[in-house]
Chains A and B, each alone.
Chain A
Amino acid sequence: MILIMGIPTEPPVKLLLEAAKKIKIPYLMLNQREIRFWDLSIKYVNNKFSGQISLGDQKYDLESFSGIYVRMMDYNHLPEVKDEVFKMVNPREILKISLIHTKLLEWLVITKCRILNKPTDMLSNLSKPYQAQIIAECGLKVPSHCITSNKSSAVSFAQKWGPLIYKSISSARSIVKELDLNDSEKLNKIKYLPTQFQQKLEGYNIRVHVVGNKLFATKAVSNVVDYRYASQDGEEIELLEAQLPKHIEESCFKLSAKLNLALCGIDLFLTTQNEYYCFEVNPSPGYSFYQELTGQDIAAAIANWLAYGDAR
């Protein structure tokens, strides 16, 4: 049996539930929105770990699952915690919700079950430049960056590498924009906070999803700088299944292993000079967007990997 942790209507979770049903893999859905109805027990007795989650008569040993899919949102942002929906959740239950989340997340760090992914391994994208250094260690090129609060450093970097784009370096989502060197009002603002400038590459984006021992590559054809927001700019996006050279596939698997992320979304870019670059690695990819537009069955690969350790 596999354990799926998250909110069942959220698209990546929903697709995984459908895939598990279709290929007849038994699963337990631990719905965050209903977690207050569950009980949790975690023990160390004589240096031996044991744990159990239970709902009435249903009892499950934590270490009995063949695999675990984790896509939990911060419990502080659950509507019943944040907004006290319908005032149906009392302070006792909020305490229980927070402690079950805390202890489950602690357990996920030590579990011996196959897992997509351990919470502590998902932290590398809190710092994109930190992650970029790891990406390069795996043999993938990264675009040249300059992160600075000094206007003249930004201008001299632009003279060498321009045109440039700028974007956030933390996990805060930002829309990638092209730098206009004539916009001195914007450039003057970088003195308040170091800002990342990156060489703008010409070519197209490729999203790679690694699932254990399987890889899905998807080419994104769009005219905008940040294809994820193409519709906001009134532009269209086309997603197509793609093939990668062997050495790039190997680097993607190496990167997945190095980050200990058996499931990850790797953002590659193929330039017009036929060079591959890597922008970043998403440790909890919203793969449903790509699956729905291409038909690539990423959800089935996830279910198979969790159940049997083989995504094929």
Chain B
Amino acid sequence: MEILILCDKNDWIAKKVHQQLLHTEIDAAIVFAEQLAFAQSWKQLISDTGECCTEIYLQDSQYIDSKKLKSVFNRIKFLNMPQFLNVTDRNYAEMEMFALYASFLKSISHALLEPILTKNLIIEETNLLYYFDLAINAGLDVIDYHFTTAPKWQNSADSIPVYPLNNADHSLPVKAPHLVWENLPCVYLEAYTKPIKIVIIDESVYPQIYNDKIPGLIKFAKATGKTFLELQFVEADGKMKLLDVNDFPLNASEETINALSLLIKTKSL
């Protein structure tokens, strides 16, 4: 097994990429998170010099040897361990399995499309401030944004009050004027129009419509350490401004699937 896709069972993108690779006669394996959680056995050895190798025997007799992997597309962020019925045991087992999985990923950095970084060892809400900071450093514009715990006293007629946390599905922010009336924490966003999604895969940008932005977008993507990103831009104050970043897209165009497949194939050569 040299080319491997690791994903959840219902990961549409990973499955499409796998089909695309098979269609072009690339021998790629796909392994679901569930198979790893219920694997017949795991064995990871770490030497005193930090050399790490992992062998995983799956129930269906597939075998993963970390030393043989050449290209890996990892889409697993967490391993559920439903076999532990007691909540305390399950929480512990999930922490332990994730720790093992992170170590496995670290040991196959050479093969991963997106090397594992310490900052990505946790699943959390998108940190927009972090992405805004990187975007500005990359020369991109970001939307005027104001989080406040006292919106009633900081009202701005030109801004739109929205819920302070991002939508999990990265849909456009929902207007929430009642937060101002009730003086509950909210975010004020500058008024905007024309939302457009841009996908970045490695050094390619889709759709290729804002040519002057491409160097900045690639610089931004490199700074995130992510290979596959979906950015929400909007028009505000006559400029294209960044509104949101999705670092784990769940939908993709055919063009995106093809680009990901090509990237996996190239990595394996």
Distance in Å: Cβ of A195 to nearest Cβ of chain B: 8
Which residue of chain A lies nearest to B37 when distances are taken between CB atoms in the complex? A193
Within 8 Å of chain A (Cβ to Cβ): is B129?
yes
Contacts of A44 in B (CB 8 A): 129, 132, 142-146
Total interface residues on A, using CB and 8 Å?
A: 60
Contacts of B44 in A (CB 8 A): 129, 145-148, 194
The listed residue with most B CB atoms (<10 A of its CB), out of A45, A95, A107, A133, is: A133
Distance in Å: Cβ of B212 to nearest Cβ of chain A: 16
A194-B149 contact in complex given A107-B129, A121-B119, A133-B52, C-beta closer than 8 Å: no
Q: Are A145 and B96 in contact (CB under 8 A)?
A: no
Q: Are B148 and A41 in contact (CB under 8 A)?
A: yes
A45-B144 contact in complex given A95-B185, A193-B97, C-beta closer than 8 Å: yes
Q: Are B147 and A42 in contact (CB under 8 A)?
A: yes
What's the count of A-B pairs with C-beta under 8 Å?
196
Choose the segment among A135-143, A217-225, A226-234, A293-301 that binds chain B (4+ C-beta atoms closer than 8 Å). Answer: A135-143
Choose the segment among A24-32, A168-176, A240-248 that binds chain B (4+ C-beta atoms closer than 8 Å). Answer: A168-176
| Cross-chain contact of A40 among B41, B42, B128, B147 (Cβ < 8 A) | B147
Which residue of chain B lies nearest to A52 when distances are taken between CB atoms in the complex? B148
Q: Are A106 and B41 in contact (CB under 8 A)?
A: no
Q: Are A124 and B118 in contact (CB under 8 A)?
A: yes
Contacts of A188 in B (CB 8 A): none
Which residue of chain B lies nearest to A43 when distances are taken between CB atoms in the complex? B146
A170-B185 contact in complex given A41-B149, A109-B127, C-beta closer than 8 Å: no
Within 8 Å of chain A (Cβ to Cβ): is B60?
no
A49-B103 contact in complex given A120-B118, A148-B44, C-beta closer than 8 Å: no
A138 to B154, CA, bound (A): 49
Contacts of A148 in B (CB 8 A): 41-44
Q: Are A47 and B136 in contact (CB under 8 A)?
A: yes
Q: Are A194 and B184 in contact (CB under 8 A)?
A: no
Distance in Å: Cβ of A214 to nearest Cβ of chain B: 24
Q: Are B118 and A259 in contact (CB under 8 A)?
A: yes
Contacts of A39 in B (CB 8 A): 148-150
Q: Are A153 and B102 in contact (CB under 8 A)?
A: no
| Cross-chain contact of A147 among B43, B92, B143, B147 (Cβ < 8 A) | B43
A32 to B164, CA, bound (A): 20
Contacts of B133 in A (CB 8 A): 49, 110
Which residue of chain B lies nearest to A137 when distances are taken between CB atoms in the complex? B50
Which residue of chain B lies nearest to A260 when distances are taken between CB atoms in the complex? B118
A147 to B116, CA, bound (A): 20
A143 to B46, CA, bound (A): 8
Q: Are B43 and A126 in contact (CB under 8 A)?
A: no
Within 8 A of A (CB), among B130-164: 130, 132-133, 136, 141-150, 154, 164
Other than the known A99-B164, A134-B106, A147-B100, what 19 A-B pairs have Cβ atoms closer than 8 Å? Answer: A41-B149, A42-B145, A44-B142, A44-B144, A46-B144, A47-B141, A100-B185, A106-B129, A110-B129, A126-B102, A126-B121, A129-B52, A134-B50, A144-B48, A150-B41, A168-B96, A168-B99, A193-B81, A194-B96
Q: List 10 A-B contacts (CB under 8 A).
A: A44-B143, A44-B145, A47-B141, A99-B147, A109-B130, A130-B99, A146-B43, A168-B96, A168-B99, A169-B103
What residues make up the interface of B, taking CB atoms closer than 8 Å to A? 39, 41-52, 81, 83-84, 92-93, 95-100, 102-103, 105-107, 116, 118-119, 121-122, 125, 127-130, 132-133, 136, 141-150, 154, 164-165, 184-185
